[in-house]
Amino acid sequence: KGFIRAEVINWQKLVEAGSEAKARELGLIRTEGKDYVIQDGDVCNFLVNK
């Protein structure tokens, strides 16, 4: 149970892409593990187990 992974993108790159779907299409969203240190400006989507 708990954390699986985080999908991370810098907010400026997200705004430039125009949408999360477009950012994903362009390969701008990266997958990070539990050891990743979140940086200022990161937008994160956390995937977790129930």
- pLDDT tens string 1-50: 799 999 999 999 999 999 999 999 999 999 999 999 999 999 999 999 98
15-18, long-range: CB within 8 Å, 24+ apart, which pairs?
Answer: none
Task: Assess contact for 31 and 6: CB atoms under 8 A.
Answer: yes
pTM of the model: 0.86
CA–CA dist 2, 12 (Å, integer) = 29
Q: What is the dihedral of CA 10, 11, 13, 15, to 10 degrees?
A: 170
CA–CA dist 24, 14 (Å, integer) = 9
Task: Enter the tokens of residue 29.
Answer: 């969203």
